[in-house]
Amino acid sequence: MSATAAASAGTAGAAGGAARILITGAAGCVGQYTVEHLYRHSDAHLLLLLRDPSKLKVVAANDPRITLLVGDLRDLEPHAEAIASATRVIHTATAWGDPERAQQVNVVAVKRLLALLDPARLEQVIYFSTASILNRDLKLLPEAMAYGTEYIQTKAQCLQDLEVHPLAERIVAVFPTLVFGGRVLPGDPHPTSYLTSGVKEAFPWLWLAKWLRTDSSFHFIHAADIATVCAHLATTPHQPNPEPGQGAVRRLVLGQAPITINQAVATLVRWRRGWVPPVGLDLTPWLIEGLIKLLRIEVNAWDRFSIRQRHFVHKPVSPPERFGLTSYAPTLEAVLETAGVPHRGRLPGTEA
């Protein structure tokens, strides 16, 4: 069935009622921003797959538009009927750390989830991967399978599987770059992303980092902006992949314009009302390698590849503006503002 025919079939299947959007990983950082956005800006019924309902803070669990599917992604059978009722899917759930669990969650469970969907009803699947497995032109990096961690390898494997899946034309694969979200202090209902938590941990080292220079660049994006893009995709008609040079699965790297490591460090220092020296020590590849040996830092094959790669940039990237929308946090300064990072004084749990 073509994507156009699939969209027509899905619309017909949902006729007479609101869309039914299944969101996996609904209690996570990106998951909760997405749930909140869809709840506020659509009339969709939200099917929320999550392991711990007590972590869901952005909507009321007993709201008539909310259905909780409590369980593990590796055991979907108890929710098979609800999954089959979905017209759209936003699959954010993932796993890393343990190789066996990563394989089961990131590969096997994705296949089972797709198998439980009703092709006559389904309009679209938004599948979350990571920009780390793509090169500048959004092609799969050969090194992802060769050197990647269990997380990187399973994400690469799953993308290859999806490209040849019978539902490929209905799949939009999104590849977030570095994700900020939540706040550094308590009080935000959204979970704090690992990167936002890491900003707090970086403060005690700014005195040293500001004297170092490195030729490296990256993209970032706020979880609220990921939610904006995904909600837009999930509430507009699905069409065949419009991206030139891609296959059946549409690939979208979610990120703002690239910035350099040097710019990021300078921004953090200035935000904390510090002084940025005009010169610094260049961290050349040979110097980095020397420091690794001197300090006996453990690095794996993927770490070494990343050090050589240095520039994790992609073209095109897809912030909300690419869809005629407005970013919540388009700059690093905006990220720090929304995260509640103070300009001066200590933060709990830090020494700076």
Each residue's pLDDT tens digit, 145-175: 999 999 999 999 999 999 999 999 999 999 9
Q: Which amino acid is at 272?
A: R
pLDDT of residue 12: 37
Residue 101 burial (C-beta neighbours within 10 Å; 0-12, 13-18, 19+): middle
**Same domain for 143 and 29:** yes
Residue 120: C-alpha distances to residues 19, 172, 185 (Å): 14, 18, 46
Residues facing residue 290 across a β-bridge: none
pLDDT of residue 349: 59
Q: Is residue 295 part of a domain?
A: yes
The 10s digit of each residue's pLDDT in 58-72 is 999 999 999 999 999
**Same domain for 250 and 122:** yes
Residue 267: C-alpha distances to residues 221, 280, 333, 350 (Å): 16, 16, 7, 19
**Same domain for 154 and 61:** yes
Q: Which amino acid is at 222?
A: H
pLDDT of residue 324: 98
**Same domain for 156 and 32:** yes
**Same domain for 193 and 144:** no
Cα 249 to Cα 161: distance, rounded to the nearest angstrom: 11
**Same domain for 161 and 261:** no
pLDDT of residue 18: 83
Give buried/exposed letters for 9-46 (b at 16+ CB in 10 A, else e): bbeebbeeeebbbbbbbbbbbbbbbbbbbbbeebebbb
**Same domain for 265 and 249:** no
User: Residues 116, 75: contact at Cβ < 8 Å?
Assistant: no
Which residues have a Cβ under 8 Å from the Cβ of 55 and sit 6 or more positions away? Answer: 27, 191
CATH number, domain with residue 50: 3.40.50.720
- List of long-range contacts for 43-46, beta carbons under 8 Å, 24+ apart: 43/18, 43/19, 44/18, 44/19, 44/20, 44/88, 44/234, 44/235, 45/17, 45/18, 45/19, 45/20, 45/21, 46/21
Query: Percentages helix, strand, coil for the chain, rounded to the nearest 5?
Result: 40, 15, 40
Instruction: Provide the domain count of the chain.
Output: 2
- Count Cα atoms within 13 angstroms, Cβ side, for 59: 24
pLDDT profile of the chain (352 residues), mean per 10: 34 60 97 98 97 95 96 96 98 94 96 98 98 96 95 97 97 98 91 92 91 95 98 96 95 98 96 95 87 84 88 96 98 96 74 54
pLDDT of residue 200: 82
pLDDT of residue 14: 44
Cα 307 to Cα 26: distance, rounded to the nearest angstrom: 33
> Maximum CA pair distance of the chain?
67
pLDDT of residue 1: 28
* Predicted TM-score of the model (pTM): 0.92
**Same domain for 205 and 69:** no
**Same domain for 199 and 262:** yes
Q: Which of 210, 185, 233, 197 is nearest to 283 (CA)?
A: 210
Strands 178-180 and 212-213: unpaired
pLDDT of residue 350: 58
Structural domain range at position 290: 184-218+257-310+327-338
How many of the other CB atoms lie within 10 Å of CB of 234? 25
**Same domain for 164 and 151:** yes
What is the 3 state secondary structure string of 242-299? Answer: CCCCCCCCEEEEECCCCEEHHHHHHHHHHHCCCCCCCCCEECCHHHHHHHHHHCCCCC
The 10s digit of each residue's pLDDT in 184-240 is 888 899 999 999 999 888 888 999 999 999 999 999 999 999 999 999 999 999 999
pLDDT of residue 13: 39
Cα 99 to Cα 104: distance, rounded to the nearest angstrom: 9
**Same domain for 299 and 225:** no
- Count Cα atoms within 13 angstroms, Cβ side, for 170: 28
**Same domain for 205 and 94:** no
Cα 236 to Cα 41: distance, rounded to the nearest angstrom: 12
